């Protein structure tokens, strides 16, 4: 069957009918599963050391638990929304962008895993600030570490809450029960200040559902609940990808065909957000308001000297009031690739078209890179098309930066480090690295293939690229008459973000309970009060983040990037020095931590003055701030150590020496 030209149902109808109900059902099954796991985990909390169990799973993780919690925590919601949308928008160059994932598992787990686990056991550390404080025997250093973690992770937690709600919202979009529930929620909270200013009732509902679920199971079950749900989520993700891959390839007519079609693709023309667009004129005035939804196709007779037929897709919904015929500055994108246009026009009956309308005053702009004659085939080669940058999507310096970003900066993430402190023995570590390597190979490269195929199967999604994953899931499964399967596939991005949020939540609460309260305020607190406090703080931190996320900051993706690279710039060097260098002292570790943090921050602040936005950081020598930050962090740690006194012998002996074994 030729799926390219012949889709038996219109996409919006398909979405409403099979996909989203499946999404709702799978979401419910999913949540139920998560709570069962949390309840089971809670039983383990009766073991000897509550804190070590609640925040670290008693250092007993086996291969599957350790490998999958590590993999699932690192792949946040971005892996299944942001990444697919980038592949769709920029083409094959994303293979290079994600390329360093070929060594990410062995780097992030192998570089420090064994030694970090050993040092944490030797000192009895439960958290990352714990390790730093014990290894250098410095209270101030521990406090610095905990402040940085609380600062960065709290921002990140809010951002991830927002990401989770947005994903859930995309999945449930169009489900009747969901829409009406959102409506009643909106009425119920209309009197409550702050809450009623949420972005939309749908967003608020998703945030509540998502937030409450995550907070409850994390609070109740602790680390083991997080790990076991991660395992379940990890399995959902990989199964989703493995099912999608053959469907995507066969339905787009094979990879060879996809690549050849992509070689001929040219980027769409797009509307400027502020001004311009197109003018639509109805053939005759309508009796009632005409609503033109985002995603609607519009075609018109070709202009005389135009090579291809005119085909537009609305990117922002508009209305034409009753009795009028014209609306100006409609935001659209215009397809420019002949094959894509023919494909859409060829299945006109099944797509949502607005008929009886003519187009005039076309005021659209070209991509900054990708449209010029000598840039043809841009979806196939580097640097890839870009709507905004005339250097293209991935110039060489950025390609190098991303190699650092994933593998090296991934090693410096405290959420990953905590997991490295929790595996049972080296055998577990060795097998888990292999498992994660295979796992990532099955996820990341196939995603590139799947969403290159998406360019062929679903042209014109540039206006709403974040929903390409659910749209593909529905299209692929519906073409084989197995719409219910879409539920499993769309659960993957949701699983990804959930498994990240729960880990971050526990990381922050462990910082408060263990590092702030127990180790600084009240070292002699009883087991019972520590236990109560752990539940309480996890619950309060989660709830606070959820409330802030009602009106979340903008620039979601930028915040996540800033936090991720900032954490690595602050923590990688002190930890690596602490684990592997006998001479390093507390002053050196402090120098590394502050040096990395402040230089990284300085790049962003300079960006604010030079480029006009905090989130367009200054790129010294064309490199991302993470590279500059890491470089300065390692250098300043080294220099400060060298000019200050060596650490006490007892400390060095404790962590670097062992009693001689008898020959």
Range 409-438, binding other proteins (CB under 8 A):
425-427, 429-431, 433-434, 437-438
Smaller CB separation from other proteins, 347 or 531: 531
Selected binder of other proteins within 187, 192, 193, 256 (CB under 8 A) = 256
Spatial strand order in the sheet of 269-270: 269-270, 332-334, 310-314, 297-300
H or E segment to which residue 280 belongs: strand 277-282
Residue from 100, 218, 386, 565 touching other proteins (CB under 8 A): that is 100
Residue closer to other proteins by CB (options 188, 242) is 242
Binding mask 350-379 for other proteins (x = CB under 8 A): ------------------------xxxx--
Q: What H or E segment, with its residue span, contains residue 327?
A: strand 326-330
Nearer to other proteins, 185 or 399 (CB): 399
Using CB under 8 A as the binding rule, whether residue 522 contacts other proteins is answered as no
| Per CB under 8 A, 553 contacts other proteins | no
Distance between CA atoms of residues 468 and 472, nearest Å: 6
Q: How far is the CB of 3 from other proteins (least distance, A)?
A: 17
**Binding-site size, other proteins (CB under 8 A):** 84
The residue assigned the tokens 């410096």 is 412
Measured CA to CA in angstroms, residue 400 lies from 96, 164, 274, 403 at distances of: 10, 30, 34, 5
Q: Nearer Cβ to other proteins, position 7 or 416?
A: 416
Does residue 516 touch other proteins according to CB under 8 A?
A: no
- Taking the C-alpha atoms of residue 386 and residue 397, their distance in angstroms, rounded to an integer, is 16
Q: Please pick, from the candidates 99, 174, 346, 463, the single residue that binds other proteins as defined by CB under 8 A.
A: 99
Question: Of residues 216-235, which lie at the interface with other proteins (CB under 8 A)?
Answer: none
CA atoms of 599 and 629, how far apart (whole Å): 6
Binding residues among 269-288 for other proteins as defined by CB under 8 A: none
The span of 98-106, 219-227, 340-348, 587-595 binding other proteins (CB under 8 A) equals 98-106
Q: Which of 255, 368, 544, 620 binds other proteins (CB under 8 A)?
A: 255
Of 16, 25, 95, 602, the one binding other proteins (CB under 8 A) is 95
Q: What is the DSSP string of 470-510?
A: HHHHHHHHHHTT-TTHHHHHHHHHHHHHHHHHHHHHHHHHH
Beta bridge partners, 467, equal none
What is the spatial distance between Cα 158 and Cα 552, in angstroms, rounded to a whole number? 7
User: To the nearest whole angstrom, how small is the minimum distance from the Cβ of residue 637 to other proteins?
Assistant: 16
CB of 627 to other proteins, least distance (A): 12
Smallest distance from the beta carbon of 192 to other proteins, in angstroms? 43
In the set 33, 110, 346, 463, which binds other proteins (CB under 8 A)? 110
Cβ at position 520, least distance to other proteins in Å: 10
Whole-number Å distance between alpha carbons of 650 and 588: 18
CA distances from 192 to 186, 195, 206, 210 (A): 10, 6, 18, 20
Helix (H, G, I), strand (E, B) or coil at 424: coil
Kind and range of the H or E element at 361?
Answer: strand 357-363
Q: Are residues 230 and 68 in contact, defined by beta-carbon separation less than 8 angstroms? A: yes
Cis peptide bond N-terminal to 341, omega within 30: no
Cβ 275 to other proteins shortest distance, Å: 31
Query: Taking CB under 8 A as the rule, does residue 400 contact other proteins?
Result: yes
Confirm or reject binding of residue 524 to other proteins (CB under 8 A). Answer: yes
Q: Distance between CA 325 and CA 124 in Å, rounded?
A: 74
Q: Write out the binding residues for other proteins, residues 436-475 only, by CB under 8 A.
A: 437-438, 441, 445, 449
Pairing of strands 332-334, 310-314: antiparallel
Considering only residues 113 to 132 of the shown chain, the ones binding other proteins according to CB under 8 A are 114-115, 117-118, 120-125, 130
What x/- string results for residues 568 through 587 when contact with other proteins is judged by CB under 8 A?
Answer: -----------xx-------
Q: Determine the Cα–Cα distance for residues 322 and 37; give it in Å rounded to an integer.
A: 55
| Stretch near other proteins under the rule CB under 8 A, chosen from 110-118, 171-179, 207-215, 234-242 | 110-118
Burial of 615 per CB tally in 10 Å (0-12, 13-18, 19+)? middle
């Amino acid at each position: 069957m030729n799926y390219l030209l012949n889709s038996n149902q219109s996409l919006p109808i398909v979405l409403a009918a099979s996909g989203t109900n499946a999404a709702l059902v799978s979401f419910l099954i999913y949540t139920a599963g998560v709570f069962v796991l949390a309840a089971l985990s809670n039983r383990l909390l009766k073991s000897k050391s509550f804190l070590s169990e609640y925040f670290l799973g008693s250092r007993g993780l086996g291969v599957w638990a350790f490998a999958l919690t590590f993999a699932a925590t690192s792949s946040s919601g971005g892996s299944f929304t942001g990444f697919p949308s980038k592949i769709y928008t920029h083409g094959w160059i994303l293979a290079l962008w994600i390329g360093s994932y070929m060594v990410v598992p062995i780097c992030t787990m192998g570089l420090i895993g064994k030694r970090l686990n050993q040092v944490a056991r030797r000192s009895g550390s439960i958290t990352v600030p714990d390790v730093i404080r014990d290894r250098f025997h410095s209270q101030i250093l521990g406090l610095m570490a905990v402040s940085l973690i609380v600062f960065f992770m709290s921002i990140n937690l809010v951002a991830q809450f927002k990401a989770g709600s947005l994903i859930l919202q995309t999945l449930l979009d169009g489900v009747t029960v969901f829409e009406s529930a959102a409506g009643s929620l909106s009425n119920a909270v209309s009197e409550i200040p702050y809450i009623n200013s949420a972005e939309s009732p749908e967003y608020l509902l998703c945030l509540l559902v998502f937030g409450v679920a995550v907070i409850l199971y994390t609070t109740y079950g602790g680390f083991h609940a997080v790990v076991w749900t991660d395992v379940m989520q990890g399995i959902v993700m990989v199964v989703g990808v493995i099912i999608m891959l053959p469907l995507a390839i066969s339905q787009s007519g094979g990879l060879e065909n996809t690549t050849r079609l992509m070689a001929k693709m040219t980027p769409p023309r797009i509307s400027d957000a502020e001004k311009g667009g197109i003018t639509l004129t109805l053939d005759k005035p309508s009796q009632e308001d005409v609503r033109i939804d985002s995603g609607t196709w519009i075609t018109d007779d070709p202009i005389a000297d135009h090579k291809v037929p005119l085909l537009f897709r609305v990117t922002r919904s508009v209305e034409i009031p009753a009795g009028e015929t014209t609306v100006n500055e409609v935001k659209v994108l215009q397809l420019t690739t002949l094959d894509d246009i023919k494909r859409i026009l060829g299945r006109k009956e099944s797509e949502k078209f607005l008929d009886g309308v003519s187009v005039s005053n076309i005021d659209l702009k070209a991509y900054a890179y990708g449209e010029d004659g000598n840039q043809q085939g841009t979806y196939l080669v580097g640097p890839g098309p870009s709507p905004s940058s005339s250097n293209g999507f991935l110039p060489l310096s950025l390609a190098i930066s991303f190699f650092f970003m994933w593998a090296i900066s991934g090693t410096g993430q405290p959420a990953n480090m905590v997991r490295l402190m929790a595996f049972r023995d080296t055998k577990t570590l060795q097998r888990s690295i292999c498992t994660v390597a295979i796992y990532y190979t099955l996820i990341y490269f196939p995603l590139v293939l799947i969403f290159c195929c998406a360019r062929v199967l679903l042209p014109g999604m540039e206006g709403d690229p974040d929903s390409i994953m659910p749209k593909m899931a529905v299209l692929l499964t519906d073409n084989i008459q197995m719409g219910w399967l879409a539920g499993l596939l769309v659960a993957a991005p949701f699983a990804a973000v959930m498994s990240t949020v729960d880990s971050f939540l526990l990381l922050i609460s462990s910082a408060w309970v263990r590092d702030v309260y127990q180790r600084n305020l009240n070292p002699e607190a009883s087991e019972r009060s520590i236990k109560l406090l752990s539940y309480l703080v996890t619950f309060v931190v989660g709830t606070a983040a959820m409330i802030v996320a009602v009106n979340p900051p903008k620039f979601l993706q930028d915040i996540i990037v800033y936090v991720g690279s900032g954490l690595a710039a602050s923590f990688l060097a002190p930890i690596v020095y602490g684990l592997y260098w006998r001479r390093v002292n507390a002053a050196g570790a402090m120098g590394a931590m502050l040096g990395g943090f402040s230089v990284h921050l300085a790049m962003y602040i300079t960006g604010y003055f030079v480029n006009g936005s905090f989130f367009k950081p200054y790129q010294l020598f064309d490199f991302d701030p993470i590279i500059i930050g890491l470089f300065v962090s390692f250098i300043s740690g080294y220099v400060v150590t060298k000019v200050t006194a060596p650490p006490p012998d007892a400390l060095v002996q404790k962590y670097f020496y062992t009693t001689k074994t008898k020959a």
